[in-house]
Structure 1
Amino acid sequence: MTLYYSLVFLLLVVEMVVFMALIVPLPFTIKRKLFAFVSESPIVAKLQYGLKITFIFILILFIDSVNRVYRVQQELSAFAKDGSGIGAAHLGTDRMEVQARKFYSQRNMYLCGFTLFLSLILNRTYMMILEVLRLEDRIKLLEGDKKAGGKDSARVAEAGSVGEIGRLREELETKDRDIETLKKQCEGLTREYHNLGDQVSGKKGEQNNKKDT
């Protein structure tokens, strides 16, 4: 196995270990602090950026390995068609060499493919755990648990998505501002109505006085 495929295999083992660490049941507080640290650590952020570049190279290796498997399969098909005009010993040696190349190509294809596939699973699992932690923290807040509203919960909520409670508070503040605006408009309209009523009453009073005179 070449050096870069050895590194891909090492990355696959690391992904398996990380996946096992993600699915290990832990207490809610410990898991929340752990994910808050992961979401805020600059070292982890740089590591994730480097892994994205690494996965691009692994994707290139995967495409190359698929191409090699296809070409080896074509060579085997050619051996099967042209085997009658070649010596048995020479044909057997060449066929074994092609079979070995096919085995290594398929091994590299599966290695790169499983590494890429597991990276997608890890990313999705991580996001789902963040969402679960956010929902659990929201339930604790709604149930009246004041300890659930700590800094770690805010970090987890920011790492996953905007918190539902924060969104509701923003909507409530917006509606409060709208209500205050409507109250001011209503007060202004009421004043205008009273002013118009006083003007109409004054005009009617003047007309009645003129009639009496």
Structure 2
Amino acid sequence: MTLYYTLVFLLLVAEMALFMLLIIPLPFTIRRRMFTFISENKFVAKLQYGLKITFIFILILFIDSVNRVYRVQVELAAASENAGNSGGAAIMGHERLEVQARKFYSQRNMYLCGFTLFLSLILNRTYIMILEVLRLEEKVKQYEGTEKNTKQAEKLAMAGEPGEIARLRRALEKKDQDLDNLKKQAAGLNREYDALTEKYAQTQQDGVPKKDK
């Protein structure tokens, strides 16, 4: 694996760790302080800007890897067709193994870049949704947190305005449901990546691709 694909892999691991940190259940106060720090810290803002540029380069690598997969697929199909026409299957054995190895490496790079980009979108959406959930929870606490606010909510209900609390509750439930869906998508992404890693390990023998038997 080349240096830049190794860096992409490390970024993918960092994204998975960050996603696990975001979905860990924490007390409301601690979660609010953490996200307030992330939102207002200047260093974090600069880091986010640098990551946006990094993801642009990863997108370029993803497009290049897709192009390589397509070209290797075409080359493999052409080689198989020529071998069938000439009857030289034994001669094409080594070349076919080399093309298949290049195909696997291209697919690995495509999956690696694709998963990294996809998880970045999930992280961004999860971060925005958690901020929205925190804002809604603060509004609910303003209506129900203290005795004074409880009395104020009762006055609003008597004045014919109880729908605001119900609307906030529905919005909060919807955000929680969206977060559960994102957790399921992330779990599926991790399973696919583990399967790809196992497939890559099975094709290796002392650092060299296994030959066809």
Range into which the TM-score falls when normalised by the shorter chain: 0.5 to 0.7
Residue 68 of structure 1: how far off its partner (Å): 0.1
Give 3-state SS (helix, strand or coil) of 2:26's partner: coil
Task: Tell whether 2:117 aligns with 1:116.
Answer: yes
Q: Which residue of 2 aligns with 1:168?
A: none
Correspondence list, 1:130-209, <5 A: 130-145=131-146
Instruction: For 1:111, give the aligned amino acid.
Output: L
Q: Distance in 1 between matches of 2:53 and 2:60?
A: 11
Give 3-state SS (helix, strand or coil) of 1:26's partner: coil
Residue 49 of structure 1: how far off its partner (Å): 0.2
Residue 80 of structure 1: how far off its partner (Å): 1.7
Give 3-state SS (helix, strand or coil) of 2:91's partner: helix
Q: Distance in 1 between matches of 2:33 and 2:63?
A: 39
Tell me how many residue pairs correspond in the alignment.
148
Greater RCO structure (CA 8 Å; 6+ sep)? 1
Q: Distance in 1 between matches of 2:51 and 2:71?
A: 30
Q: Which residue of 2 aligns with 1:64?
A: 64
Q: Which residue of 2 aligns with 1:32?
A: 32
Q: Distance in 2 between matches of 1:85 and 1:4?
A: 41
Correspondence list, 1:5-16, <5 A: 5-16=5-16
Q: Distance in 1 between matches of 2:74 and 2:88?
A: 20
CA displacement 1:58-102 (0-9 Å, x = unmatched) = 000000000000000001110121003264343001100000000
Instruction: For 2:71, give the aligned amino acid.
Output: R
Q: Which residue of 2 aligns with 1:52?
A: 52
Instruction: For 1:22, give the aligned amino acid.
Output: L
Residue 141 of structure 1: how far off its partner (Å): 0.9
Residue 143 of structure 1: how far off its partner (Å): 1.9
5+ long unaligned stretches in structure 1 = 149-163, 165-213
Instruction: For 2:46, give the aligned amino acid.
Output: K
Instruction: For 2:100, give the aligned amino acid.
Output: Q
5+ long unaligned stretches in structure 2 = 150-163, 165-213
Q: Aligned Cα RMSD in Å? A: 1.8
Q: Distance in 1 between matches of 2:51 and 2:87?
A: 49
Q: Which residue of 2 aligns with 1:94?
A: 95
Q: Which residue of 2 aligns with 1:82?
A: 82
Instruction: For 1:9, give the aligned amino acid.
Output: F
Q: Distance in 2 between matches of 1:145 and 1:134?
A: 17
Q: Distance in 2 between matches of 1:15 and 1:144?
A: 35
Percent of residue pairs identical? 74
CA displacement 1:163-182 (0-9 Å, x = unmatched) = x9xxxxxxxxxxxxxxxxxx
